[in-house]
């Protein structure tokens, strides 16, 4: 699971959960790989992000050292910033771990890089 995905996921599927956002992350195995940088994509995705959540998640995984705490002004033309966001969004991946509902503490396991957001019959 990439941090871009984490930025978009909620645990609202659980009955009674209000927002279910942001999900906590418990990572047991993190992989960093190289993904081609595409400034157009990153520029378009930044306005969709909850940046605070992205920063928090990157920090939790120990990959926030280079990342500014807030979106810089005129980010469209700041390639350095776009590269850094690209890195945390697409190159840092949780292979094994848990996502945690902020309201109920319910854990959603991530294995082989794939989050399992299914809830059981009795939780719907």
Stretch that binds other proteins, among 41-49, 54-62, 64-72, 77-85 (CB under 8 A): 41-49
Give how far the C-alpha of residue 86 lies from the chain's centroid of Cα atoms, to the nearest Å: 12
**Residue 102 interacts with other proteins (CB under 8 A): yes or no:** no
Q: Is 5 in the site for other proteins (CB under 8 A)?
A: yes
Based on the shown chain and the rule CB under 8 A, indicate whether residue 25 belongs to the binding site for other proteins.
Answer: no
- Residue from 24, 68, 102, 109 touching other proteins (CB under 8 A): that is 109
Residue 64 phi, psi dihedral angles, 5° rounding = -100, 0
The span from the CA of 78 to the CA of 15, in Å, is 42
3-class SS at 7?
helix
Q: Which residue has the tokens 């969709």?
A: 48
Of 1-9, 24-32, 63-71, 72-80, the window that binds other proteins (rule: CB under 8 A) is 1-9
Asked if residue 92 lies in contact with residue 117, where contact means CB atoms within 8 angstroms, the answer is no
CA-to-CA distance for 107 and 72, rounded, in angstroms? 34
- Given 66, 69, 79, 114, the residue binding other proteins (CB under 8 A): 114
Region class of 35: left (phi > 0), else alpha (psi between -120 and 50), else beta: beta
One of 4, 27, 61, 88 touching other proteins (CB under 8 A): 4
Which residues form the interface with other proteins (CB under 8 A)?
1-2, 4-5, 7-10, 12-13, 21, 35-36, 38, 40-41, 44-45, 48, 50, 90, 109, 111-121, 124
């Amino acid at each position: 699971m990439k941090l871009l995905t984490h930025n978009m996921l909620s645990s609202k599927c659980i009955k009674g959960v209000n927002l279910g956002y942001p999900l906590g992350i418990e990572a047991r195995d993190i992989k960093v790989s190289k993904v081609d940088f595409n400034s157009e994509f990153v520029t378009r995705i930044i306005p969709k992000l909850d940046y605070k959540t992205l920063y928090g998640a990157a920090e939790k995984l120990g990959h926030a050292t280079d990342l500014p705490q807030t979106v810089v002004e005129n980010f469209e033309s700041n390639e350095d910033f776009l590269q850094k966001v690209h890195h945390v969004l697409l190159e840092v991946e949780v292979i094994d771990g848990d996502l945690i509902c902020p309201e109920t503490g319910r854990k959603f396991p991530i294995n082989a890089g794939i989050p399992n957001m299914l809830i059981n019959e009795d939780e719907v």
